[in-house]
Structure 1
Amino acid sequence: MPGTGPATTRPTAVSLLAVIVAAEATALLVAAGWYGFQLVSGAPVLSFWGAVFTVALLLSFSAWLFAVGHFLFRGYRWPRAGALVAQLLVLTIAVPTLTGGYVAAGLGMLIPAVAAIVLLFRKSVIRFASRAGGTPPAL
């Protein structure tokens, strides 16, 4: 528990990191909503069920990122790995977006991802986010 661990106060870096992850989750949620709206409004798609799967995937990833941000904010250990994986996936989309000529969109993905990666490896974040899940053993 963060209140009983080595770091009793939540570092600003953890709060900022949780906000970045939540913003990325919100962006995925907006993309899913926009994609779903396009799907039901009759926009042409190559495969209807493929488009439904894409909406479900965007919603699933958004929910996962919201959970990562929430539990990272609370000081659990496991979301650090999830947040790092998410940032690396964002980088794999941001770099080709930048080189493809979409500078604003590419920077909009690249800057928060790099900032989150840097924050993930700060000592204060590692110290605070060290809570293990579950309850202590009975015996």
Structure 2
Amino acid sequence: MKEFMQKFVNRILAAIISPILLYFTYFGVVAIYNLLTPPWDNSLFDYFSILYMFAFFIVSVPLFILVAIPVSILIDRVTTKFRWITYPIASGTFGALLLLFNFIINDRLDMFVFGSIVLYFSAGLSFALSIIFIEKVHLS
């Protein structure tokens, strides 16, 4: 029971760290892409602020807690070897199901379907890397 509680606390810490990691990596990559491709538009930097990060954090932490923690527990019951592959696949599948649900309800697809799926895969990868990092720090 003590080991389960420690893993659960690690997952909660990862759910708090993952949105920050996701925010900086995703918007950093998009910012570099926008700076290197014409037309050189700096409108992305309007979203790169503390207020936007706080709003992103407020929305994404509950999703990480309500979706990523139960799914990660289920995945870890099957295997713990390939977390950095299985977590992004699971979050990408969840994102694809949300987009399918959006298509069924609204009878249209979002304009940024590819970007949304990449964001979901990135969220799963950031959660996996956060858990791996927390476990490495905890063991050392």
The structure where helix makes up a greater share of residues is 2
TM-score, normalising length: structure 1: 0.36
TM-score, normalising length: structure 2: 0.36
